[in-house]
Amino acid sequence: MQKEILIVDDQPGIRLLLTDVFESEGYRVNTAETGKEALDKIYKHAFDLLIIDYKLPVVTGIEVLTRLERENVMIPTILMSGLVEEMEQEAEGLRSLKDVLAKPFDIQMVIEMVKSILA
């Protein structure tokens, strides 16, 4: 069965790039622009992996992860950010967080990261 990835970023270019990359790798991809939209989709559908931006309007990536963990919804997650040091402190202790991705990222590295998490 195809693994499904939810990509959450407020930048359309990043959503489009990652969608193209992972669909060509054989994954099913769904996207969301905001943390709230991501939560709505997660509550309606199970995903194998969440790739979410740290800085999102209204509900941040960290808030999404914190809320899901509080509700015992565990989805392996990669958190993306241009502010890795700041983010790593906030993300400490989140059990679903598998990796942190610094923007701008190397697309080949992202593919390897995803394959190792979903293996």
CATH (domain of 13)? 3.40.50.2300
Averaged pLDDT for residues 82-100: 85
44-67 pLDDT per residue, tens: 999 999 999 999 988 999 999 999
State the residue range of the domain holding 61: 4-118
pLDDT at 85: 76
Continuous H helices in the chain: 12-24, 35-44, 61-70, 84-91, 107-118
How many folded domains does the chain comprise? 1
Q: Retrieve residue 83's tokens.
A: 């502010």
Q: How many residues comprise the chain?
A: 119
b vs e for 79-118, b when ≥16 Cβ sit within 10 Å of the residue's Cβ?
A: bbbeeeeebeebbeeeeebbbbbeeebeeeebeebbeebe
Q: What is the mean pLDDT of the chain?
A: 94
Whether the Cβ atoms of residue 38 and residue 79 lie closer than 8 Å to each other: no
pLDDT at 82: 84
pLDDT at 84: 75
pLDDT at 94: 93
Q: How far apart are CA 110 and CA 117, in angstroms?
A: 11
- Of 37, 35, 70, the closest CA to residue 55 belongs to 35
pLDDT at 79: 95
pLDDT at 64: 97
Task: Return the number of other C-beta atoms located less than 10 Å from residue 30's C-beta.
Answer: 15
